[in-house]
Amino acid sequence: MITTRFAPSPTGYLHIGGLRTALFSWLWARKNSGKFLLRIEDTDLSRNSDEALEAILKAFDWVGMSYDGDAIYQSKRFDIYAKYIDQLLEEGKAYKCYMTKDELTALREEQMAQGERTRYDGRYRDFTGTPPEGVEPVIRIKAPLDGNIIFDDGIKGEICISASEVDDFVIARAGGVPTYNFVVAIDDALMGLTDVIRGDDHLYNTPKQIVVYEALGFDMPKFYHVAMINNEQGKKLSKRDGATDVMEYKTLGYLPEALLNFLVRLGWSHGDQEIFSVEEMIELFDPKDINKSSSNYNLDKLLWLNAHYIKNSSNNKLAQMLKDFGVDIENHDKLELLLDATKERGKTLVELANQINLILNAPAEYNPKASKKAFKGTAREYLEEFANMLKNWDSTLHTPPEYHAVIDKFVADKEIGFGKIGQPLRVSLLGAMTGSGLDEIMAILGVDETINRIQKAIEFIDNRD
């Protein structure tokens, strides 16, 4: 039985990097028919907000990741932590430290000046005298004094950190509120976690948590430290590098399956495979295939994946999603045609919405370059004649091939090239030289609207000349 978790602190939105580690944890649990738990790390009451928590849950919901059971809130478990603190104190595995913050600062400055890694010097570890007046003590845990703290990381292999690098860290603040590394270890153990997958910014927390595991006699989970995601220049990812909030990707018109596919391939691979449905991810994911090194965030591939998933989405699903982008075509009688004609031309839902609007709305203006090129010479004459032809054929025209037949006939009758009518027609209908196929556009618009737009173009030509 595999049990994993995601443990965000509700201080902001869900970060793209956080989603990736959550995804890895979720996949690993699902693959093994295990449990994926959610724990809210809200021990710092001043920094938490309900909105932040809601935002995180919303992001989970959007990408379709679900956790098992109820979310666990650390803020509701202070009595549990207090019990373990008492236990450690009684067993002599933890002690009260009366060092003031000023003293600590002085110590750190001195160590820094010596070129050492700053750490508590253990001065109250074996203190038996009379405590100084007016200092509310913190509780520190006794870390090993010598040797190494070694663990086998599921991604990076054996990690060995000298005990001299791990100090007697604080497990309860003055006032009794427990600290992060202490409660994490307790909760991970109590929640029955077998595999802890997290960012490698936690690598140095692991030896501290191991100290807690050993002091309390808990079984240790397997740790996996996933390297960070950096920006394209290899620097720390910041808001300037694009969207870091998961929900921003929804706004930008990305499909959740594209985002997940993108993220799963950032640091993880399965041979040469690039496209993974969620089902395939679950089937194939294994943390042993996660890369050791950090990866750089690059939008190109996400865009490509998004285009892929748009192309392969059903038209009904696309129509449903497009409502968030100001395009309501769910009841449009030409829905299928409309999306078939546009879905290969939009890399995001935003672009797709634009493509659809381009067809649905008569051109407000004609692209100057396009109209100059297309509306010249015989264009006006052909447009008028073509409109007449449409009028005559009206009752027989429904599908794209039927419209295509009209053009074919027209071109044959006139003994002209396709471009002679194609280009003027395209600019008349869309206002630009590029876009969906003419047959599809006319089939969507119908004869009346097509003629309408041709008339408008003719008026434009007349007024211009």
Question: What are the residue numbers of the active site?
Answer: 239
Using the minimum distance from each CB to RNA, give the nearer residue, 136 or 330. Answer: 136
Query: What's the CA gap between 345 and 354, in Å, rounded?
Result: 10
From the list 118-126, 279-287, 382-390, 450-458, the region that binds RNA by CB under 7 A is 118-126
From the list 77-85, 186-194, 289-297, 357-365, the region that binds RNA by CB under 7 A is 289-297
Q: Tell me: does residue 362 bind RNA (CB under 7 A).
A: no
From the list 215-223, 234-242, 316-324, 384-392, the region that binds RNA by CB under 7 A is 234-242
Q: What is the CA radius of gyration of the chain?
A: 32
Beta strand 138-141 with 170-172: parallel, antiparallel or unpaired? antiparallel
- DSSP labels for 29-71? HHHTT-EEEEEE----TTT--HHHHHHHHHHHHHHT---SS--
Query: What's the CA gap between 350 and 357, in Å, rounded?
Result: 11
For the purposes of burial, counting CB atoms within 10 Å of the CB of 214, is it exposed (0-12), middle (13-18) or buried (19 or more)?
middle
Here the tokens at position 6 are 């995601």
Is residue 213 within 8 A of residue 36, CB to CB? The reply is no
Using the minimum distance from each CB to RNA, give the nearer residue, 327 or 442. Answer: 442
Q: Tell me: does residue 286 bind RNA (CB under 7 A).
A: no
Using the minimum distance from each CB to RNA, give the nearer residue, 292 or 317. Answer: 292
Query: What's the CA gap between 348 and 302, in Å, rounded?
Result: 10
For RNA, what does the binding mask look like between residues 399 and 418, x meaning CB under 7 A?
-------------------x
Least distance CB 283 / RNA (angstroms): 17
Least distance CB 406 / RNA (angstroms): 12
From the list 99-107, 188-196, 248-256, 332-340, the region that binds RNA by CB under 7 A is 99-107
Q: Tell me: does residue 101 bind RNA (CB under 7 A).
A: yes
Least distance CB 214 / RNA (angstroms): 18
Query: Side chain identity at 190, as an amino acid letter?
Result: L
Residues 300-329 binding RNA (CB under 7 A) are 300-301, 303-304, 307-308, 311
- DSSP labels for 127-181? --SPPPTT-PPEEEE---SSSEEEEEETTTEEEEEEGGGS---EEE-TTSPBPHH
Here the tokens at position 374 are 């297309």
Find the DSSP H helices in 244-343: 246-251, 256-264, 278-284, 299-311, 315-322, 335-342
For RNA, what does the binding mask look like between residues 41 and 60, x meaning CB under 7 A?
xxxx--x-------------
Least distance CB 74 / RNA (angstroms): 7
From the list 26-34, 124-132, 419-427, 455-463, the region that binds RNA by CB under 7 A is 419-427
SS3 assignment, position 121: coil
**What are the distances in angstroms from CA 349 to CA 25, 45, 250, 318, 345?**
29, 39, 9, 8, 10
Residues 160-179 binding RNA (CB under 7 A) are 160-162, 165, 169-170, 173-175, 177, 179
Using the minimum distance from each CB to RNA, give the nearer residue, 116 or 413. Answer: 116
Q: Tell me: does residue 73 bind RNA (CB under 7 A).
A: no
Of 71, 80, 159, 252, which lies in the binding site for RNA, with binding defined by CB under 7 A? 159
Q: Tell me: does residue 339 bind RNA (CB under 7 A).
A: no
Is residue 8 within 8 A of residue 196, CB to CB? The reply is no
Using the minimum distance from each CB to RNA, give the nearer residue, 32 or 296. Answer: 296
